[in-house]
Structure 1
C-alpha cells in the first residue's frame, strides 16, 4: 500500500484536485447508498495534528479487507489546517476525505462544500449524542464521528496522597486540592488552556460557564450570551485560579507539559486522554501507575454539571473524486472494533457507545471518570463564526488574568464584538 506523507507546506495545485466531470461528487444532495463491496481506487486524505502520525497503522488494517484501495495521506499542521482547507474548498481542489476536529467543524461545514452522509451509512443513535450533533447542519449530518475525548484534570497522585487531599470534582474542592499541591513545593501547580489566549481558552471557559448555569450562546444557537451574570461569575472564579497564584498566566503549550508534569513544575493539568499515552512513552507504565491520577471536574457551585468534550469527524467534500471509497473508510472507522483499536493505537476514545463495553475499555478504571463526564459533555458553540468569536473571548480572558480588566468589563466587550461578528450561516 502506498501511504504518501505530505510536507508542512501544502500546494493546492499539487495536492488538491479539481472535479472530474465523469465522476459523481454528490453536488446535487445526498450520496447514493454506499454498498458493502470492498473499497477500490485511490483515496486522497488530509490529516491534521498528531493523529496523522498514527493513522497509517489503521490504513494497513483497512487495506487487508480492501486490497484494491490505496490511501495517500497528506499531513497538515493543525495551526494551518483551517486556512488551507478553506482555500482548497474555494479553489475546488480538494481531497476525497478529511477529518475535522470539533473546533473546525462548524466553520467548514458552513461553506456548504461537504456532502451529506449517505443514507444508511451509519446509525446516528450508536454515537454519543453530542458527537453526532457536531456533524449536523439544520438537522442533516455531514460527517461521521471518529473519536471523542473528555478534557479531565490529570494530577500527580503521589503528591496528592502525600498532601492528604482528595481529587476534586467541584469548584469548592479545587482550590483546597491545589493548596495541598503547593504544600508539596509546587508553587503554581495548575495548567490551564490559557496560552496562547485563543478559542481553546474560550472553550475551556465555556465549560466553567455551563457549570455555573451559563453558556456562551443561546440554546437555539442564534444569539451570543457571553456577558450573562452566570458567565461573569464563572469568569471571576476561572480567572482567580491565575490571579490567586494557583496557575501561571504564561503557562506554555501542551508540547512541554510532559516534562513539566514529571519534574514537579506542574502537578495538575486540564487535558485529554492522550496525556496518559504521552506519559507512558516518556516514563513507562510503572511510573504512570504510581504517580498519575485523573478526576472529572464537573460540578459548579450551583450544582450544575458539565464536562468539556470534543473529538473528530470524517467528512467528504462535494468535489471528491472517490467518495465511495472515502465513505467506506469512514464507515469502517466507526465500527466498534476499529474504535477500540484506535484507542489502543493513539489513546483517543470511542465515539460509538458500544465500543465502551469492550473489556479493553470497560475494564480500565482510569477511563471511568471520563465515561461519566461524556454523559454531561458540552461542545463548542456549533456555529460558523465560533473560531473568530472564540479568539475574541480568549483575548478578553487574558485581560482579566493580567489584571487589565474585570470579568464584567471583559465579557461585555467580548459580547459587543461578538454581536458585530454574528453567528454566521
Structure 2
C-alpha cells in the first residue's frame, strides 16, 4: 500500500504542477479581450466583429468564454494602461503599442501563445517589428501602407502625370499652382501625425529614423538632405499651400483633398473611403524617391498582445489561432479596408480581382515596407518630440540640420532613460 500511496501522491503532484501557469480543465474559463474600434459609426463598430468572432469561437470551444470590450482609439491605450496598473490586465489587448509591457515582463511571447503555422504566417516586416531583444511579443493584427494620392481632374487640367521622382513632383506642383490649385502638395507636419509624413519622406530620401543597427539617427546625411529639399524646393517655392506645414494636420489635409483643393498628398486606405463619399476621382502611385520610385514605403501596424497575469496561456493560444485563421483575417481586413498581416490572407486578397482593384497598390508596398521602431520602449516619447519640433525644419527661418540634431539628442536621451 505504501508504494501505491506514493504513486498516487506523485501523480497528484504532477497534475498540480502541470496546472501551474495554465488554467485547469474544470469549469469555464473567461478570456478578457480589449480592442480598438476601427469603425466610424455604430453600424460598423469593431464590437460587432469581435462579438461575432467570439460567438463562433465559443461554439467550437466549449468551456471557453470571451468577454470583449471595445474602446475608441482616443481611449483604448489609456484604458489598458489603467487596467494593468490596477492589477487587472486583460488576457488580450489589441491596441497601438506593446513594447512597454514587454519590457516590464508582462507579456507572453508569440512562441508561448501561437502555433508554429500561425506564427510563421505573419508577413516578415510586421513580425520583425514585433520583436524586443530578439523575442517576438507584439503580434501584428492590422496593417496599412502609404501611397501618393492625386486628384485626377486637377492633374488633367494642369497637363501633368503622376510623378516618379522628387523633381517630377516639384514640376507637377508648380503647374498645379499655376492653374490656381490652392494646395499643390499637402505636407501635414502638424502635431496630429507628423511622425508619419516625416517618416515617409525620410524613407523616400534613403534615410529613416534609425541606422542599420537600430540606433536613432535623425541627423544622418540623407535625412538632412531630405528636409533641406522640402524646405527650399517645396515649401520655399510656395507649393504646399497657405497653411504652414507645421500647423497642418493630417485630418485637415485629407478633408481638403476630398474638397478638391489638394493636388496630391500621401494617404492610407481610409482616404479612399473619404474620397469616394465625395465622388472625387483620384489616382494612387508609389511615393516618389530622389531619382525614381522610393526604395521602400512606410508601413504601420497595430498590435495584439497577450498578458501573463491571469495564466490563461492554453486558452489564449486556442483563441489566437482561431482569430488569425485566413478566413477571419480576411473578414476583418475587408470590413475596415486594412491590409492583412498574414501571408496566406494577403495572397488571397491579391488574387481576388475586387480586392486587388481596391487595395492592390497598398498590398504591393507592404512586403518591403519599413515600420516605426515600435520595439523601442522610447519610441512613444520620441514620437511626441517629432510631432512637437519637426514642423520647424521647413519654416522660412528653419534649420533642418539643427532641428534634426536636436531630435537626435532627445531620442538618445529617451533611449538611455528607457
Give the structure-1-normalised TM-score.
0.79
1:371 pairs with 2:363? yes
1:44 pairs with 2:39? no
Whether the 8 Å CA contact 1:25–1:318 is kept in 2: the answer is no
User: Could you say what secondary structure the match of 2:104 adopts?
Assistant: coil
The 1:166–1:110 alpha-carbon spacing in structure 2 relative to 1, beyond 3 Å, is farther
Q: CA deviation at 1:137?
A: 1.6
Q: In structure 2, what is the equivalent of residue 340 of structure 1?
A: 330
User: Could you say what secondary structure the match of 1:349 adopts?
Assistant: coil
* Separation in structure 2 between the aligned mates of residue 24 and residue 91 of structure 1, nearest angstrom: 25
Q: CA deviation at 1:114?
A: 1.1
The match for 1:214 among 197, 207, 217 is 207
Whether the 8 Å CA contact 1:170–1:299 is kept in 2: the answer is yes
Of stretches 78-87 and 139-148 in structure 1, the one that deviates more from structure 2 is 78-87
The 1:328–1:173 alpha-carbon spacing in structure 2 relative to 1, beyond 3 Å, is farther
1:234 pairs with 2:222? no
The match for 1:294 among 278, 284, 287 is 284
Q: Please list the CA deviations of residues 242-286 of structure 1 after superposition, one character each: whole Å capped at 9, or x if unmatched.
A: 343333326654445554223222332322112223334x24xxx
The 1:264–1:231 alpha-carbon spacing in structure 2 relative to 1, beyond 3 Å, is same
Q: CA deviation at 1:342?
A: 1.5
1:405 pairs with 2:401? no
Whether the 8 Å CA contact 2:189–2:198 is kept in 1: the answer is no
Question: Pairwise CA RMSD of aligned residues?
Answer: 3.2
Larger CA Rg, structure 1 vs 2: 2
* Separation in structure 2 between the aligned mates of residue 347 and residue 303 of structure 1, nearest angstrom: 24
For structure 2, the 5+ residue unaligned runs are 1-16
Q: In structure 2, what is the equivalent of residue 73 of structure 1?
A: 68
Q: Please list the CA deviations of residues 352-397 of structure 1 after superposition, one character each: whole Å capped at 9, or x if unmatched.
A: 1222332676422343322232232111123110121222233221
Whether the 8 Å CA contact 1:48–1:81 is kept in 2: the answer is yes
Q: Please list the CA deviations of residues 289-327 of structure 1 after superposition, one character each: whole Å capped at 9, or x if unmatched.
A: xx0211110523487612010122211111146444444
* Separation in structure 2 between the aligned mates of residue 267 and residue 422 of structure 1, nearest angstrom: 39
The 1:305–1:59 alpha-carbon spacing in structure 2 relative to 1, beyond 3 Å, is same
Q: In structure 1, what is the equivalent of residue 5 of structure 2?
A: none
Whether the 8 Å CA contact 1:153–1:297 is kept in 2: the answer is yes
Whether the 8 Å CA contact 1:100–1:314 is kept in 2: the answer is yes
Of stretches 258-267 and 337-346 in structure 1, the one that deviates more from structure 2 is 258-267
Whether the 8 Å CA contact 1:298–1:306 is kept in 2: the answer is no
* Separation in structure 2 between the aligned mates of residue 151 and residue 105 of structure 1, nearest angstrom: 23
* Separation in structure 2 between the aligned mates of residue 112 and residue 66 of structure 1, nearest angstrom: 29
Q: In structure 2, what is the equivalent of residue 305 of structure 1?
A: 295
Q: In structure 2, what is the equivalent of residue 140 of structure 1?
A: 135
Of stretches 108-117 and 183-192 in structure 1, the one that deviates more from structure 2 is 183-192
* Separation in structure 1 between the aligned mates of residue 37 and residue 186 of structure 2, nearest angstrom: 21
Q: In structure 2, what is the equivalent of residue 12 of structure 1?
A: none
* Separation in structure 2 between the aligned mates of residue 154 and residue 178 of structure 1, nearest angstrom: 13
* Separation in structure 2 between the aligned mates of residue 322 and residue 152 of structure 1, nearest angstrom: 41
Whether the 8 Å CA contact 1:86–1:108 is kept in 2: the answer is no
Of stretches 328-337 and 132-141 in structure 1, the one that deviates more from structure 2 is 328-337
User: Could you say what secondary structure the match of 2:49 adopts?
Assistant: helix
* Separation in structure 1 between the aligned mates of residue 20 and residue 167 of structure 2, nearest angstrom: 54
1:352 pairs with 2:352? no
Whether the 8 Å CA contact 1:121–1:331 is kept in 2: the answer is no
Whether the 8 Å CA contact 1:25–1:323 is kept in 2: the answer is no
User: Could you say what secondary structure the match of 1:66 adopts?
Assistant: helix
Whether the 8 Å CA contact 1:159–1:181 is kept in 2: the answer is yes
Q: In structure 1, what is the equivalent of residue 183 of structure 2?
A: 188
Q: CA deviation at 1:45?
A: 2.0
User: Could you say what secondary structure the match of 2:376 adopts?
Assistant: coil
Whether the 8 Å CA contact 2:164–2:292 is kept in 1: the answer is no
* Separation in structure 1 between the aligned mates of residue 254 and residue 126 of structure 2, nearest angstrom: 28
Of stretches 157-166 and 296-305 in structure 1, the one that deviates more from structure 2 is 296-305
